[in-house]
């Protein structure tokens, strides 16, 4: 009998993923599904100040919203994470709703860790950084507290952060990225809203979409391939290559498909966390400082 090397496949804790929906209209039913009644919103500064989207969300949810912050910042500094976590506790929120790109969702994951572990200061939080598995292929959490709060994500980019429990906020003091694997850190639900995505500058959609394409290629070329993940990666690559160029003109007929199919590609290539290829590890190592660009 031919010996085959063991392969691992890791699911990351999502319970619902909604494609091609109006997030404002769908969110009340999603909150009701999970029994949430006290919502804390974390959003990007640009989506709050340059659009009316957050105003419309507040009007739709009304008293369900018990707090809101847009103090995220590039790479979500730890000081902002700790401040927002305190605000969530004080508001007695039972769920965090993130509206934004990778920095917003990264911040929310780190906030979840602060709340679950009662890590109220920088030193306590930094002690919870992840460790590598014995073979060096998997990031393992050092947190043992059950998740005290979850996140529902409404992405405004194609950054893929909604598909991982990993959070890498920047340490204000060292300017290096902290590295956490947050138990139940992957959003409980994701809502992909093409109308909201259309409000994002196309250059940002392209840059984050290329990062998603990079993830798919890394998976397809992994030194520890898994047949299921490889199959998904091939499909994601095809979707990205077809639809990313169509984002250029939001008014064009083909753009409608692009604003739904690009998030689908993001979902397909990131629905699992596989053992990393060398390319993935080098990519992670190169982004350890806050001076490296990120979504």
Query: Does the residue 264 lie in any domain?
Result: yes
Query: Are residue 264 and residue 130 in the same domain, yes or no?
Result: no
**Last residue in a domain, options 172, 197, 222:** 197
**Strand, coil or helix: 158:** coil
Distance, C-alpha 229 to centroid of its chain: 19
Cβ-contact 34, 95 below 8 angstroms: yes
Asked if residue 238 has pLDDT above 80, the reply is: yes
Q: How many Å apart are CA 126 and CA 138, to the nearest integer?
A: 19
Residue 237 and residue 188 in one domain: no
The C-alpha atoms of residue 6 and residue 249 are separated, in whole angstroms, by: 46
* pLDDT number for residue 189: 97
Q: pTM, whole model, 2 decimals?
A: 0.89
Neighbouring residues of 210: CB distance < 8 A, sequence distance ≥ 6: 244
Does residue 209 share a domain with residue 176? Answer: no
Domain of residue 123, CATH code: 3.40.50.1970
123 pLDDT more than 60? yes
Residue 124 binned pLDDT confidence (cut-offs 50, 70, 90): very high
Residue 295 lies in a domain: no
For residue 11, what pLDDT band results from cuts at 50, 70 and 90? Answer: low
Please give the backbone phi and psi of residue 177, each rounded to the nearest 5 degrees, phi first. Answer: -80, 130
Residue 97 in any domain: the answer is: yes
229 and 192 belong to one structural domain:
no
Q: Cβ neighbours of residue 152 under 8 Å, at least 6 residues apart? A: 27, 30, 31, 95, 96, 97, 98, 187, 188, 189, 190, 191
Residue 43 lies in a domain: yes
Are residue 95 and residue 180 in the same domain, yes or no?
Answer: yes
For 261, phi then psi, to 5°, come to -80, -30
Domain containing residue 133: 16-197
150, 122: one domain = yes
**DSSP category for residue 98:** E
Cα separation, 108 vs 123, whole angstroms:
18
Q: What is the biggest distance separating any 2 CA atoms in the chain, rounded to whole angstroms?
A: 64
- Based on the fold, state whether residues 86 and 66 are members of the same structural domain: yes
Domain identity same for 75 and 220: no
Any domain includes 80:
yes
Position 130 in a domain: yes
Whether residue 240 sits in one domain with residue 183: no
Please tell me the total count of domains within the chain: 2
101 & 178 share domain: yes
Q: What angle in degrees, to the nearest 10, is found between the helix axes of 23-34 and 53-61? A: 40
Q: Is residue 2 part of a domain?
A: no
Which tens digit of pLDDT belongs to each residue from 20-48?
999 999 999 999 999 999 999 999 999 99
Last residue of a domain, one of 197, 217, 232: 197
Asked if 66 contacts 93 with a C-beta cutoff of 8 angstroms, the reply is yes
pLDDT tens by residue, 244-282 = 999 998 888 888 899 999 999 999 887 644 444 333 433
**92/33 same-domain check:** yes
Using only C-alpha atoms, what is the Rg of the chain? 18
Place of tokens 């957050």: 54
104 with 65, same domain: the answer is yes
How far apart, in whole angstroms, are the C-alpha atoms of residue 38 and residue 88?
10
Domain membership flag for residue 291: no
Domain boundary among 163, 197, 231: 197
In contact, 246 and 184? CB cutoff 8 Å:
no
Contact between 46 and 72 under an 8 Å Cβ cutoff? The reply is no
């Amino acid at each position: 009998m031919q010996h085959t090397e063991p392969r691992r496949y890791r699911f990351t804790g999502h319970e619902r993923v909604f494609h091609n929906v109006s997030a404002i209209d769908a969110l009340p039913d999603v909150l009701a599904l999970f029994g949430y009644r006290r919502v804390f919103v974390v959003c990007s500064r640009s989506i709050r100040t340059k659009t009316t989207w957050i105003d419309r969300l507040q009007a739709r949810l009304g008293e369900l919203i018990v707090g809101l912050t847009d103090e995220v910042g590039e790479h979500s500094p730890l000081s902002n994470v700790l401040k927002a976590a305190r605000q969530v506790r004080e508001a007695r929120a039972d769920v965090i709703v993130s509206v934004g790109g990778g920095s917003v969702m990264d911040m929310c994951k780190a906030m979840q860790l602060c709340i679950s572990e009662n890590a109220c200061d920088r030193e306590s939080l930094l002690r919870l950084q992840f460790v590598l598995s014995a073979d060096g292929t998997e990031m393992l959490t050092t947190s043992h507290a059950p998740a005290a709060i979850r996140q529902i994500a409404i992405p405004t980019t194609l950054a893929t952060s909604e598909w991982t429990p990993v959070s890498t906020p920047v340490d204000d003091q060292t300017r290096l990225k902290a590295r956490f694997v947050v138990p139940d850190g992957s959003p409980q639900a994701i809502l992909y809203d093409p109308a909201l995505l259309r409000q994002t500058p196309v250059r940002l959609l392209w840059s984050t979409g290329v990062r998603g394409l990079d993830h798919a290629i890394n998976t397809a070329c992994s030194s520890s391939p898994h047949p299921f993940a490889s199959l998904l990666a091939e499909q994601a690559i095809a979707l990205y290559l077809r639809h990313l160029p169509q984002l250029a003109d939001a008014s064009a007929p083909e753009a409608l498909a692009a604003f739904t199919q690009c998030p689908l590609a993001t979902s397909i290539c990131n629905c699992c966390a596989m053992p990393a290829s060398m390319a993935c590890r080098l990519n992670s190592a190169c982004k350890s400082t806050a001076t490296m660009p990120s979504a």
